[in-house]
Structure 1
Amino acid sequence: MRAGLGAYGLGTAPLAGLFAPVEEAQAERTLAAAWESGIRYFDTAPHYGSGLAEERLGRFLRGLPEGAGEAVVSTKVGRVLVPGDGEEDGFPGRTGYRRMRDYSRDGVLRSLEDSLRRTGLDRFDLVFIHDPDDHWEQAAGEAYPALAELRDQGVVGAIGAGMNQAEMLTRFVRETDVDAVLVAGRYTLLDRSAAAELLPECERRGVAVIAGGVFNSGVLAGGATYDYDAAPPEVLARAGELERICASYGVPLPAAALRFPHRHPAVTTVLIGARSPEEITQDVKLTETDLPDALWKELDHAG
């Protein structure tokens, strides 16, 4: 599972209008910038813009001269799109669809069929059970067996779970045969909770870890949001202290945030979230920044 993902991948939620709409042309240019930078792993989901992320990623990959052959694509199951108008859920500008939680076998099969149609791909390399926080019984009892069967049949390449928490992901690793987990926001400079049990368990069992949300939705990249909401004063203060430490070494805080997850041997890939070609260029440059050992020692102490 580790082969092919690369050290960095692109998360497509921002390109579907997370927090603010993104025009089609800008999304295409951003995907092109990621491809030109060498990124080949792309993560998407029906939830992102009610299918808009999948549609845009699919159009881009199909339009490549070489096709989508080099790309590694993951999507997610657990939310089925139905006609109607629902809450925006952080994605303004996309109407006509309502998200329904469904971790049943039928829901998994329907979700994957819809995702294949939206992307125009013939298979997915990796499929995650998406945010089953309050649905463990159905997710583990129905969604996981359905995905395991599809993996055994070669219909999908690998399977896993993707969440904004570490505890249930640890349970998936211990109680099922997942190939990978996507842990968002729980192994960052601000929140290292995944290091307690999840990462050691994944390392022991050979489960690939993909780290997402490494800026904690913005506060570690100069923004004022934390976990998709306004950052509380104490979080802003901690981020400010981390920024001060990085500045004392001449290092931008986002560079340390992007590089931090790779310090753990269980982490295979870090997802970059970008909504413009300029952000891609900037993030790629940040990943090449030299970070001295002394900086890490101070950041570890502050964390």
Structure 2
Amino acid sequence: MELKLPPVVFGTSGLGNLYVALDEDVKTRIVEACIRQSEERVIFDSAGKYGAGLALESLGRALKKLGIAPGNVVISNKLGWLRIPLAGKEPTFEPGVWKDLKYDAVQKIGYDGMMECFEQGNELLGGIFRRWCRYTTRMNIWQRRETTVRSRPGDMRIYSTHMRRCSI
């Protein structure tokens, strides 16, 4: 499957209540406007850190409400932040930036942490997108492999990074 990128990728941090808490209907209208501006597949950029997962939840609900087929959407979810219960008045990450959140987020780095963030992100998207995201993302996971190339005897070794498909 070839992925053709449009000239604009839409960010979703505002759907996570960045600086201001938005009503769910306003968030749905924002997503709808993004879709209207896209000639083909719309691409959204998100992260578990955006509103401690609220951006992913809001995006999933809006897409479901608008009846958008999963094949017409690509969601880039940056991994590394996992939603956890909110212990205080506001999240511990970026205090004062995110408004009216019910959860906090912590960093989860490493393979297990990334996979946990991946699964949680798919759950936060909810509905019909859960199965589709899990399938397409797992089919396109790439593994980094270091190789050493020697161009001529006596030359310095040149290190390069190659990507290869792997299955999970």
Match of 2:23 in 1: 23
Q: 1:33 to 1:92 in 2, by over 3 A?
A: same
Q: In structure 2, which of residues 117, 120, 123 is the aligned counterpart of residue 117 of structure 1? A: 123
> Do the aligned residues in 1 keep the contact of 2:16 with 2:54 (CA within 8 Å)?
yes
Distance 1:77 1:43 in 2: 11
5+ long unaligned stretches in structure 2? 144-159
TM-score relative to the length of structure 1: 0.41
Matched with 1:101 is: 107
Give the structure with the larger strand fraction.
2
**Percent of pairs with identical residues:** 24
8 Å Cα contact 2:56/2:124 also seen in 1: yes
Q: How far is 1:82 from its partner?
A: 1.5
CA separation in 1, counterparts of 2:81 and 2:20? 21
Q: Distance in 2 between matches of 1:75 and 1:178?
A: 20
Residue of structure 2 aligned with 1:63, choices 47, 62, 65: 65
Query: 2: distance between equivalents of 1:178 and 1:60?
Result: 34
Distance in 1 (alpha carbons) for counterparts of 2:161 and 2:133: 24
- Residue 26 of structure 1 deviates from its aligned partner by 0.7
Tell me, yes or no, if the aligned pair for 2:47 and 2:78 is still in contact at 8 Å. yes
Query: Does structure 1 conserve the Cα–Cα contact (< 8 Å) formed by 2:93 and 2:106?
Result: no
- Gaps in structure 1 of 5+ consecutive residues: 126-149, 161-173, 180-303
**Alpha-carbon distance, 1:158 to partner:** 5.2
Q: Closer, same or farther in 2 for the Cα pair 1:93/1:178, shift >3 Å? A: farther
Instruction: Judge conservation of contact 2:70–2:132 (CA < 8 Å) in 1.
Output: no
> Per the alignment, in what secondary structure is the counterpart of residue 177 of structure 1?
strand
Q: Deviations over 1:39-73 (max 9, x none)?
A: 60011111001111000111122233352221111
SS in structure 2 of the partner of residue 63 of structure 1: helix
User: Aligned partners of 2:164, 2:100: CA distance in 1, in Å?
Assistant: 35
CA distance in 2, matches of 1:61, 1:32: 8
Quote how far apart the aligned CAs of 1:6 are: 0.8
Aligned residues: 139
* TM-fit CA distance, 1:157: 3.0
Q: Deviations over 1:212-256 (max 9, x none)?
A: xxxxxxxxxxxxxxxxxxxxxxxxxxxxxxxxxxxxxxxxxxxxx
Larger relative helix fraction: 1
> TM-score by structure 2 length?
0.70
SS in structure 2 of the partner of residue 93 of structure 1:
coil
- Give the residue type in structure 1 aligned to 2:85: P
Structure-2 change in CA distance of 1:29 and 1:11 (3 Å): same
Aligned to 1:157: 140
Alpha carbons 1:123, 1:156 under 8 Å: kept: no
For 1:99 and 1:113, locate their aligned partners in 2 and report how far apart those are by CA, in whole Å. Answer: 15
- Structure 1 Cα separation of the partners of residues 164 and 77 of structure 2: 15
> Which residue among 142, 154, 163 is the counterpart of 1:177?
163
Q: Pick closer, same or farther for the CA change 1:119–1:16 going to 2, 3 Å.
A: same
Shift, 1:176, TM fit: 5.7
Is 1:87 matched up with 2:67?
A: no
- Hey, what's the Cα distance between the residues in 1 that align with 2:24 and 2:164? 34
1:159 Cα deviation (Å)? 5.9
